[in-house]
Structures are given as C-alpha cells and as structure tokens.
Structure 1
C-alpha cells in the first residue's frame, strides 16, 4: 500500500493535525508532517474519527438477499463511515450454528468494505425454547462473542439465565431485544395519545421496561454481561441507570431514529415510520438524548433493517418493521447530539467507535488515532448540509425515514486498515 497523508484534520474534533498512514497502520500524528510520495488528502476543517463500529446491523444474507447482502450492506457501512459491523442472526437459515456464522464472516472478508462480525442466535431458530450452539459459534473461525435473538425477545427467564451463565465462561454478552410478547400482541405503534386517536394497537412502554428490569437482575445474579438493544423509553433509561448504580454489568444502545423521530409521524400512516421498538414520544426522545450524553446509554447502534420496496410500500398493518440507517447515522447524531451541545466529537467517537468495539470485542477497531494503531479511520465534512436522497444509497433497500430531509455532515473518506473504501464520498 502507498502512504497517505491526511493534512490538517481536526482529530476527534480537536486541534488540526496531520495523520500519516503507512500501509495498514498509522505511522505518525502531528503538525507539519511530510512523506515522500505520499498521497495527500486535504482535510482542513474536517473532523477525523476512528472508524465507526455498529453493534446492530441486519445484513439479511443468507436468505433475504432481495433486501440486502453482505456486499451491499458493507458498502453502505463504508459510505456511512463504518469500518466494522456486527451482523444480526435473524437470517434464513438462522445464524444459530458455527456453519452459518462462518459463512457470514467469510463473506465479509471476501468483500472487504468493512469487517463483519456475526452475532449468534441465543436460541435455536430464534424460537426461544432451546439454547443454540453458543460455545461452538464462539470457538468457530468467526469467534462469536455477542449473541442475540433480535427481532424476538428471549422471554423465558430460565432460558435467559442459562444463556447468561453459558456466555460468562468465555466473556461473551447476550444482547436482548426487550419486548414482552404478551403485552405487544397486535401492537402497531407506541401506546399513547396518538395510538388512541388513530385507532392503532398500542405498544406499551412497560413491555420493554419489564424485560430490562428482569434481565439486569438476572445478570446481577449470574454475574454476567447483558446488553440492551435499541432502548427506547424514558422508563428504560431509569432502570438501566439504577442497574449501573448497583454495579450490574449492563450496557445499552440507542438508535439514531429514536434520538430524532417521534410517534407524531405515524399520523401520516406512512409505513416508513413503522419500526420495532416503535417511535416514542418527545419526552422519551429527550430522555434518550440526555442518557446518551451522561453515559447511561453507552452507544449508538443503527439497527439497520433493510426491506424491499414491496414490504414497506403497502398498508400500515401489513408493512414490515424497520428502517435503513448505516448511511445516515452519523448525520443524525450530529444533529441531535453535537449541534445541541450534548456531545462533542470526542464523545461521538466514544459512543460510535470505542465503546461498541469494546462491548463486542472487535479486534483492531475502536482504537485511538495515534501512531502504531490500525488505520481504521473516518473523515467527516461537518460543515456540509444536504437533503437525504435514498436513490444514492449503497444499500439495496431504500426504506429511510429521512428522504428529502436536510441533515448535517457528510462522510467523505473511510479507510479500512489503510485501504480507502470511500474517497470524496464515492465508494472505491
């Protein structure tokens, strides 16, 4: 690989510095650097971050390649500044065996736009009745450390306890989709004033909060790690805050869309706003932002959930739940957290790179921007503002809630171990 000199970037939003990449590593960071024959990237005024890490991505392959593939999903990730993503297990077949997780892992290696770390299912077939091959998936070439039935809740307390006990042996973590199924039968949106007005089945906050309360207590009892996926209510924030005050080993994530959008948007009956968990109230949104700022919520995760056009462009009740998010996540975080003064860019790096890499044990990712570290980097033009046009997405799906909306920030370059995957906003 040739040398690359990134000149004048604001490293983690701080002072302007030069960063020299030599091969797969950062060779030097400082001012006034030079290197014979190096490709120079003019970065004055732009912010340089460690490559982003997404702990919650749906790549759909194998089985739903009409929605997304590992190739298209990792291209979308690179476009959004990500150098590593964790791929959820709800594929067809389900990623509940060593063979399936190894297939996804090797597809990621072949395509090369970002590293792909498979997440293994907690239970066989995501059915919640029998533990999957957790040990075999961990010992496989994929080295799985995160397990989740995301899309479905591990609602059986005995199964959840056993999973927590099992992963404790090798330092793994169970990532829970917190949704009590008996409280959400027929639910279509957040339970509240808007659902009552629209006559849509309500999805109560307690359906999420009751599972989180149970699982943090189980994690405390077992002495294991639990991670809460896509936390969405003010009540959930308080439960996680209480658990952390007791020293329970719990981490939590919030999605970009839960930081910005509210259930008022469902008044349009546009299925693009149908997501699991549902969009909540303005009070919940403000509580989530504050919790992300103070560290109660550890990370931002996209829950990138691609669907083909026919699965979203239909009546509300029949539409699939989910939104794409890899290519807009950083812009939404800039709008909701940076431009509101709740986080600086170093805080963004903490919540979108350092901490998710640590939770998932992503080797070589979430590392400081300093000499000797892997050159996994993201360059952002934070002064840019533009309208979201899904026609330009790298993802195979277009189910974004931001079409036509003006958002700040644009990822201009992404490097994976020194290799450019995105240059001037265009995939290599």
Structure 2
C-alpha cells in the first residue's frame, strides 16, 4: 500500500518544519509541502513529529526457549510500539544460534514473525559457554548481524582474544557484555551505602571495569570493531574516552535506565530495580550523561529484557536481572532530557537512530530521505500520557517506570512502507 503522510513535522536544520511524505512501493519517494498523490492512502499526522525509525542494538526476544516471557511477535510489536524499526536480537536462546543451521532458522523466523527488521546476533562460543569458538565465517554467511555472548562476560582472556581475531577476519562487530564473574560475589545491586541500607549484596564497579580494561587492550591488538554493551560506570566512560583518543576501534552504548536512575532511587527490595549492570551511583549517572554529550558514548540501546511478573515480584536476591525498555525509551528520554533542555531533539534522534545504524552498517536504517526505505516513526510531543502495565504490548511488564507521566508517545510506525503500529490499534 502507498501512503501520503500529510502535516508532519520533520527535523530540518535542527528545527521542526512542516513537511508531507509520500511512500510508494516501500520507499520514500517525495518529501515536501502540499504534496498530492493518486492511489495513496492519506494520513493526517496532525503536526506530530516524524523521525527516522529508531534503531535498538540490544534486545532480548526470549524466543525460542522462554516464550512465556516474550516471543518474536510480541517483542517486535513492542519495539514497533516504541518507534523502533530495527532491533538487534541477542543470542541467549535455547537452542543457541551458534551454528549456520540454527542461525538460518532464526533469520527466517525473525523475517516472517517479526513486525520490524531484526538483526540476529550469533554467539562467540558454542552454547554461549566457555570453550570452543563458533565458526564466524559460516555464521556470517547464514545471516548473523554481529557477534556477542551477551548475558555473560567472556571470562577467559585467550578465548576473547581469539574471538576478536575471528570477528575482525570477517569484518563484523563484536558486542561485549563486560563482567568479571570472579568479582561478583553474589551481588544483586550496586555496591554502596544503599545496598548496605537494604542489606543486599553489592556489585562493585570493578566487576565491569576490570574486564573492560582487558578487552580494550585486546581490541587494540586485533583491530576489531569492539562494541561495549550497557556501559554503567564513570571509570568505564573515561577508559573508553582514552581508548578512542588512542585510536582503538571501540564504540559503546548506554541504556535509558542508567541515564535516568541511580541506586539512590531504589527505596526497597524491589525486583523491578534489578538489572545487570546495576543502577550505579549518581556520580556514575552524571558521567554517562556527560559521555553521551561529548561523544564518548555513541548511542542509546534499551537492553529490553522481559520477565514474568512472578519472577520479578521476588526479592532482588532471587529475581532475574533486567527490565523492559522498547516501549518507553523514547518518551522517557524525550520527557526527562529534551523537554528539560539537557539534550536536543536532534541529539536524541541521532543516539536512538542515526548513530547506531552507522556503527553497525545498516544501510536501510537511521535515515529519513527520498530513495530510502520508508522506515519511520511518528511521535506526539505535546500530549502527556502515563506509562501503565496495560499499555505495554510486551509480555514483560517489569519496569520501575510504571506510573511515569511522559510526553512523546508513538503515534505510528512504518517499516519498509508498511504501517506496523498505529496508536489506538495495530495494523
């Protein structure tokens, strides 16, 4: 179906300006004012903001293996609800996509069952466990979009070194969950006064930074595109800043929850505040914001991690790590950072769309231009809404942001010219 989107607001030269968009055969064929078209369905955007479709490099779809938490269908529809048109699906699945056959199966399932574009990560090691590396070339040929053992840090230095060499040989990004298990000591939240007050075991900053330091040395030696997942500490930001100055091919992401919350926001033993890495100190949070603003941190990724209500209603000692984020990322960040003039709207769109698409070489994403696939999102920047569990399409409702009042709700999402989400009902 062809669409003529009338009365939208596009970011042009850092300001919102009225424009119409014509979508034909899945592509943007015209952007202008007072456009007309035959054989196109007209949609009045009522002055809402039109963005390039958002790009999330880090989600967990749980399918196959834990479909009571999420499925490809529900997770991708949640992404569409949040304005995302591309998501990178992590490989902590059962069975694990660690061979060409399983990768081909996942690529096909993602294509047929997903509402948005889905890039499937392959693992670094077989079964995402210590030991033998996967066949990087075969997995790339089968459709892998990048490589990661996310959910677990690679504990053996030689394994990581060899994995980086293999990823570099096939010119693919390696996305790392940096976590030294020997320093964990059963921690469930950030080590510090709040953990002591709540009588909960803490996770020190060194759990992240010790392994990051090792990996940066290996990345320099191998030349691999080394991407750091969910950076959470001030020390990590500084190490990455220095690594970039030294010419190391490193990029990194930060999550909305690490930008918005610190451990001082945890007032009780509540499983919805348990994530990995944990919410850090206010000093760390401010360093993450500064790292985004100075270009050290490249992009924002949600680490969307759905769990069942029963699992997250437990104590932080027993509850699994992770919160959902696909559906709330844009509105929370727009409300708390753009409306407060800490970020510009242009910066936010860059971090949530343009920059991640550039980093992972996604030619069909992150742009709103004539001749490009019509991957775009429409947001209502004026009307205030409340995040509720009932409003979430994801099977997971596990987020501390339930009840938050926000601006920037998604009005519509198009992928390859198809209307995949529309406020008030899905298409």
Q: How far apart in 1 are the matches of 2:201 and 2:272?
A: 17
Q: How far apart, in 1, do the equivalents of 2:236 and 2:78 lie?
A: 30
Find the residue that maps to 2:291 and give its secondary structure.
Answer: helix
| Counterpart secondary structure, 1:317 | coil
Structure 2 match to 1:358? 358
> Which residues of 2 match residues 88-127 of structure 1 at below 5 A?
88-127=90-129
Q: Hey, what does 1:349 align to over in structure 2?
A: 349
SS of the residue corresponding to residue 383 of structure 2 reads: strand
Deviations 1:215-255 (A, max 9, x none): 11211111111000000111111111111111111000000
Describe the superposition over 1:310-353 as per-residue Cα deviations: whole angstroms up to 9, x where unpaired: 21112221111110110001112213331232322222221111
- Aligned match of 1:370: 369
More displaced, 78-87 or 205-214?
Answer: 205-214
1:264 counterpart SS class: helix
Contact 1:96 1:124 in 2 (8 A): yes
* Residue 157 (structure 1) shift: 1.4
Q: Report the alpha carbon displacement of residue 265 of structure 1 after superposing the two structures with TM.
A: 3.1
| Cα distance between partner residues in 2 of 1:80 and 1:201 | 34
Deviations 1:51-78 (A, max 9, x none): 1111000000111111101011011011
SS at match of 2:351: helix
Could you tell me whether the CA contact under 8 Å between 2:83 and 2:377 is conserved in 1? Answer: yes
Q: Is the 8 A contact 1:20 1:26 kept in 2?
A: yes
Contact 1:11 1:17 in 2 (8 A): no
CA contact (8 A) 1:7 1:40 kept: no
Moved more, 86-95 or 36-45: 36-45
Counterparts of 1:192-231 in structure 2 under 5 Å?
A: 192-231=192-231
CA distance in 1, matches of 2:82, 2:298: 20
List 4+ stretches of structure 1 deviating above 6 A: none
Cα separation, 2, equivalents of 1:15 and 1:336: 23
* Residues 4 and 20 in structure 2, CA contact (< 8 A), matched pair in contact too: no
Change (3 A) 1:96 1:390: same
Structure 1 residue 425: deviation in Å? Answer: 4.7
- CA separation in 1, counterparts of 2:379 and 2:3? 20
Contact 2:198 / 2:269 at 8 angstroms: preserved in 1?
no
Shift of 1:44: 4.1
Equivalent pairs counted in the alignment come to 425
Question: Aligned equivalents of 1:425 and 1:402: distance in 2?
Answer: 21
The match for 2:390 is 391
**What is the 5 A alignment of 1:181-192?**
181-192=181-192
Contact 1:84 1:365 in 2 (8 A): yes
Instruction: Report what 1:293 is aligned to.
Output: 293
Residue 379 of structure 1 contacts residue 413 of structure 1 at CA under 8 Å; is this kept in 2?
yes
Q: Corresponding residue for 2:31? A: 29
Task: Name the counterpart of 2:21.
Answer: 19
Which residue of structure 1 lines up, in the alignment, with residue 425 of structure 2? Answer: 426
5+ residue gaps, structure 2: none
Could you tell me how far apart the structure 2 residues matched to 1:6 and 1:259 are? Answer: 34
Alpha-carbon contact 2:58-2:302 (below 8 Å) kept: yes
Q: What is the CA distance between 1:112 and its match in structure 2? A: 4.3
Task: Give 1:37 deviation, angstroms.
Answer: 4.2
Mapped partners of 2:385, 2:245: distance in 1: 41
Alignment of 1:30-179 (within 5 A): 30-140=32-142, 142=143, 144-179=144-179
Distance change (3 Å), C-alpha of 1:61 and 1:8: closer
| Alignment partner, residue 259 of structure 1 | 259
1:197-222 CA distances to partner (integer Å, 9 max, x unpaired)? Answer: 22211111111112112211211111
Aligned-CA RMSD value: 1.5
Gaps of 5+ in 1: none
Q: Is contact 2:412–2:423 with CA below 8 Å preserved after alignment?
A: yes
The secondary structure found in structure 1 opposite 2:421 is strand
Query: Post-superposition shift, 1:276?
Result: 0.4
Cα 1:3–1:386, aligned 2, differ >3 Å: closer, same or farther? closer
**Distance in 2 (alpha carbons) for counterparts of 1:426 and 1:101:** 32
Q: 1:289·1:337 contact (CA, 8 Å) conserved in 2?
A: no
- TM value normalised by structure 2: 0.96
Q: C-alpha separation between the residues in 2 aligned to 1:7 and 1:27?
A: 16
Task: Please state how far the C-alpha of 1:273 moved relative to its aligned partner.
Answer: 0.4
**8 Å CA contact retained: 1:5, 1:38:** no
- Structure 2: how far apart are the matches of 1:408 and 1:294? 26
